[in-house]
Amino acid sequence: MGKLEGISIQNYSSLKFIKMGRLFSDRSGTPLSNMTTIIGPSGAGKSTVADAFGFIADCLEMGVEAACDAKNRGGYEKIVSQGVTDPIRFELYYRETSNSRPITYELTIGLDKNGRPYVAEERLRQRVKTTGHPLSFLYLQNGVGYAFEGTEGGQEDDTNHITGEKVDVQLSDPRKLGVVTLGAMKQYTRIEKFLNFLKSWYLCYFTPDSARQIEQSAPQPYLNRTGGNLNNVAQYMYRESKSDFAKILSDIQSKLPGITKIEPLKMANGQIVLQFFENHFREPFFTQKMSDGTLKLFAYYLLLHERNPRQLVFIEEPENGLYHHYLADLAEEMRKNVGTGFSKQLFVTTHSPFFVNSLPPEDVWVLEKGEDGFSTAKRASDYKFVKALTEEGATVGDLWYDKYFG
Ligand SMILES: Nc1ncnc2c1ncn2[C@@H]1O[C@H](COP(=O)(O)OP(=O)(O)OP(=O)(O)O)[C@@H](O)[C@H]1O
Ligand SMILES: [Mg+2]
């Protein structure tokens, strides 16, 4: 459980300083919705936002130096904003449930004296219920600092007053995140929970070709980045509950134009293949024969139905390869699927007004290049007239297309 109510990114590529939603350092913003869609011209920084999320996930998994080099990022010097000497900074404002007090995670990544990327600073804070004072329950500078055990307590920022179980910490590798090392230990309850939230992030770039390749038979709970393990996920869902899976398939089939039925078929080797029955044809078609768009839509809907869903999913340009008339439904389904609770959150980048037409202006963020060449971010509902016009029945995608904003 948990969701991101806000994020700020500094000095990451074209994102010299953007804020989205509510933050610890600026509580004037409204929290992010469960579905956040980012639009804007080419080069505005949409993929960079997606990559910033991916970068944080990679920092967890492989440490900051390897993360700077991964995914063609080209190393720290290439990803830090051009002309900037300050380090890269992230601030995440996270809330576990509607009853819990938000937690702020601050992460600063810079270069050490030998020019190697390292974690300069890492901090987790939560306000005290009664006084509203922020308490740090993890604070590391150059890998040295403290952490607090349990579910309460911390060190007050101004007075250094301590409540709870403070433990001095020194990390052996300054390229590894403290939340990873400490979150692996049961006694750091809050750090562990936050780490689990970060670990469940998922960036998805579905490509129909990989979905056509039948992978080795093995059930897998989650779709991978390209959707190439679609059949394995189907197999997992089938194994966990045949009746639930049948319901999911019947729900999806109703959303795939021209498809009358989708049925799993268990092969002699235990593998599950999916049979797609189409109008006019008696014999089913298997995954490999389905059209690119049908497979992509299927993968998105399957993603929305994953058991134990990942808490934060980032999808880049879902419209690619899809017929424009499907996009309104897809956006609406995504919105319905994430709901308003704390179990799922979606971030999407898109160029499609058809997709955006299904969304309220609070769910849409516009990225643009400012005069200095760096990205700016603004919520569609904060543009003059947009909120009022949508309340009168205009749709956000049409307003965008007609250049009322963005
Ligand atoms: N280190 C850097 N400092 C500043 N700007 C950078 C840096 N690295 C790349 N850029 C710029 O950041 C922008 C990133 O564009 P990005 O790929 O995020 O755009 P996009 O909104 O996804 O566009 P599209 O719609 O074409 O996919 C580019 O204009 C690029 O010139
Ligand atoms: Mg892009």
- Whether the per-residue pLDDT at 379 is higher than 80: the answer is yes
**Structural domain range at position 290:** 204-310
DSSP 80: B
- Of 114, 113, 125, 98, nearest in space to 34 by CA: 98
In a domain, 365, yes or no: no
318-352 residue pLDDT tens:
999 899 999 999 999 999 999 999 999 999 999 99
Residue 379 in any domain: the answer is no
Residue whose CB lies within 8 A of the most ligand 1 atoms, among 10, 17, 38, 47, for a mutation test: 47
Q: What is the pLDDT of residue 214?
A: 64
Does residue 52 have its Cβ closer than 6 Å to ligand 1? no
Assess whether the C-beta atom of 47 lies below 6 angstroms from ligand 1: yes
Nearest residue to 295 via CA among 265, 320, 328: 320
Residue 375 CA to ligand 2 centre (angstroms): 13
Considering only CA atoms, which residue is closest to atom 31 of ligand 1? 43
Helix H or strand E segment including 335 = helix 327-338
How many structural domains are present in the chain?
Answer: 1
pLDDT band with cut points at 50, 70 and 90 for residue 127? confident
For the cut 80, the answer to whether the pLDDT of residue 315 exceeds it is yes
Strand order, beta sheet including 364-369? 201-204, 312-316, 345-349, 35-39, 364-369, 375-379
For 22, 245, 303, 337, the CA distances from 33, given in Å and listed in that order, are 11, 29, 19, 13
The residue nearest atom 8 of ligand 1, judged by CA position, is 13
Q: Kindly give the distance from the C-alpha atom of residue 26 to the centroid of ligand 2, in angstroms, as a whole number.
A: 28
Dihedral angle sign, alpha carbons of residues 212, 215, 221, 222? negative
Q: Which atom of ligand 1 is nearest to the CA of 41?
A: 25
Residues in the chain: 406
Q: How far, in Å, CA of 342 to CA of 330, rounded?
A: 21
CA distances to 167, 202, 345 from 36, rounded to whole Å, are 38, 15, 8
Residue 48 CA to ligand 1 centre (angstroms): 6
Asked if residue 72 has its Cβ within 6 Å of ligand 1, the reply is no
> What are the pLDDT digits (tens) for 145-164?
999 999 999 999 888 999 99
Question: What is the model's pLDDT at position 216?
Answer: 66
Reply yes or no on whether the pLDDT at 130 is more than 80.
no
The pTM for the full model equals: 0.95
pLDDT at 212 exceeding the cut of 80? no
Q: Is residue 227 part of a domain?
A: yes
With a pLDDT cut of 90, the percent of the chain lying above it is 79
By percentage, how much of the chain surpasses pLDDT 70? Answer: 99
Q: In the chain, what is the straight-line distance between the N-terminal and C-terminal CA atoms, in Å?
A: 33
406 pLDDT band (50/70/90 cuts)?
Answer: confident
48 CB near ligand 1 (under 6 Å): yes
155 in ligand 1 pocket by Cβ < 6 Å? no
The residue nearest atom 11 of ligand 1, judged by CA position, is: 14
272 vs 154, which has greater pLDDT?
154
Q: Is 40 in the pocket of ligand 1 (CB under 6 A)?
A: yes
**H or E element at residue 262:** strand 259-266
Which of 215-229, 354-368, 376-390 shows the lowest per-residue confidence on average (mean pLDDT)? 215-229
Residue 292 placed within a domain: yes
**Residue 87 in contact with ligand 1 by CB distance below 6 A:** no
Per-residue confidence (pLDDT) for residue 327, from 0 to 100: 96
Measured by CA distance, the residue closest to atom 24 of ligand 1 is: 42
Within a domain: residue 165? no
Q: What is the mean pLDDT of residues 221-225?
A: 90
Sign of CA dihedral 86, 168, 63, 205: negative
Tokens coding 211:
């979905």
Residue 208 has pLDDT above 80, yes or no: no
- Whether 31 is covered by a domain: the verdict is no
Q: Of 4-18, 249-263, 330-344, which gets the smallest average pLDDT?
A: 249-263
Which residue has the CA at smallest separation from atom 30 of ligand 1? 43
Nearest ligand 1 atom, CA 349: 22
Contacts of residue 157, defined as CB under 8 A and 6 or more positions apart, other chains included, come to 125, 133, 134, 135, 136
Does any ligand 1 atom lie closer than 6 A to the CB of residue 376? no
Ligand 1 atom index nearest CA of 49? 18
Contact 68, 86 (CB under 8 A): no
How far, in Å, from the CA of 169 to the mean position of ligand 1? 38
Domain annotation covers residue 121: no
Residue 402 has pLDDT above 70, yes or no: yes
Q: What is 356-384 written as a DSSP string?
A: HTTS-GGGEEEEEE-TTSSEEEEEGGGST
Buried b (16+ CB within 10 A) or exposed e, 225-260: ebbbbbbbbbbbbbeeeeeebeebbeebbeebeebe
More confident residue, 206 or 184: 184
The mean predicted confidence, pLDDT, of the chain is: 93
- Residue 215 confidence (pLDDT): 61
pLDDT at 37 over 90: yes
Best of 48, 72, 319, 375 for a ligand 1 pocket test (most atoms within 8 Å of beta carbon): 48
- 247 domain residue, yes or no: yes
Q: What was the pLDDT predicted at 358? A: 97
DSSP track, 270-311: S-EEEEEEETT-SS-EEGGGS-HHHHHHHHHHHHHT-SS--S
Is the CB of 82 inside a 6 Å radius of any atom of ligand 1?
yes
DSSP string for residues in 381-405: GGSTTHHHHHHTT--HHHHHHTTS-
Neighbours of 111 (CB within 10 A): 17
